[in-house]
Amino acid sequence: MKINHKKGNNFGWFFGGRHYDFFATILGFGHSYYEQVASTLPLENGMSVLDIGCGTESVGIAVSELMGGDVSVHGLDLSGVQLGYATDKGKKAGVSLHLYKGSMDMLPFKNRVFDLVVTSVAFCETTSDVRKGAIGEVSRVLKDNAYFAIIDCAKPLLGMDTVMMLPFFMFKENADSWNNHYPDICIENNLVLEKDVYLKSYVKCQLFRKAD
Ligand SMILES: C[S@@+](CC[C@H](N)C(=O)[O-])C[C@H]1O[C@@H](n2cnc3c(N)ncnc32)[C@H](O)[C@@H]1O
């Protein structure tokens, strides 16, 4: 697996693109998981949504499908392989995606342009410095009172899938999420925790709102 140690794990060719979706589905991150993610998000018609570390953009496609296409979906990822497959998936699903290659700690957007930013199991693939930079950037590109959803590996609840998945996430960069540091980093960036729910026994969604 090719790892860019500076900015994060880009999954390379073997674990990227169509292969990524194959392995993700086997590990429980298939279509129904992304439908669950979309239904957890505070969506409204006409929203401008950004997904950072979007991978093959399963989140953005599920969000667009749930909203009948009445959202503008933007995705950013380190990996050209992931983004290439996301483009194909978007076309097949009839979903219009605006995709950008780059790192989440340097967002190529103006201030206060998004209604919702989401990141799904991508923070655990970066470093602590990148995550901090990304949270600062998210605060910058969000409109006042807009939302930020961090979905990430979290301190596991006791459960069968926790035991099965332990080998996959115990080596990730997840100290911030296991020790619940995101609310502290977010509040320093004017993002206030509103909701905290487990989507799986080892994956949490923390929803923040930008104070005006
Ligand atoms: C586990 S995948 C998750 C993909 C997608 N969000 C999902 O839920 O299926 C993590 C993704 O984060 C991307 N990534 C890692 N570090 C990144 C960074 N610094 N900036 C942007 N993307 C990054 C990887 O290329 C990969 O596509």
Look up tokens 């590990």; give the residue: 27
Share of the chain above pLDDT 90, in %: 69
Question: Does residue 190 contact residue 200 with C-beta atoms inside 8 Å?
Answer: no
Residue 141 lies in a domain: yes
CA–CA dist 161, 210 (Å, integer): 33
CATH number, domain of 40, equals: 3.40.50.150
Residue 190 lies in a domain: yes
Residue 167 lies in a domain: yes
pLDDT at residue 170 in the model: 59
CA–CA dist 63, 175 (Å, integer): 29
67 has pLDDT over 60: yes
Which pTM does this prediction carry?
A: 0.92
Q: pLDDT band at 3, cuts 50/70/90?
A: very low
**In total, how many domains does the chain have?**
1
Question: Does residue 200 contact residue 37 with C-beta atoms inside 8 Å?
Answer: no
Look up tokens 């957890």; give the residue: 40
Residue 87 lies in a domain: yes
Report the residue among 2, 3, 11, 49 best suited for mutation to probe ligand 1: largest number of ligand atoms under 8 A from its CB: 11
SS3 assignment, position 60: helix
pLDDT tens by residue, 4-53? 558 988 887 778 888 998 888 988 899 999 999 999 999 999 999 999 99
pLDDT at residue 13 in the model: 76
Domain range holding 140?
8-210
* Among protein residues, the one whose CA lies closest to atom 23 of ligand 1: 53
Average pLDDT value for the chain: 90
For residue 52, give the DSSP letter.
E
113 has pLDDT over 80: yes
120 pocket-lining for ligand 1 (C-beta < 6 Å): yes
* Beta strand residue intervals within the chain, DSSP E: 3-4, 8-9, 48-52, 72-77, 97-101, 114-120, 142-153, 191-200, 203-210
Residue 3 lies in a domain: no
pLDDT tens by residue, 136-176? 999 999 999 999 999 998 887 766 666 666 666 555 556 77
**80-93 and 58-66 are packed helices; what angle lies between their axes, rounded to 10 degrees?**
20
Bridge partners of 196, per DSSP, are: 206
Residue 73 lies in a domain: yes
Residue 125 lies in a domain: yes
SS3 assignment, position 190: coil
177 pocket-lining for ligand 1 (C-beta < 6 Å): no
Residue 164 lies in a domain: yes
Share of the chain above pLDDT 70, in %: 89
Mean pLDDT confidence for 54-75: 97
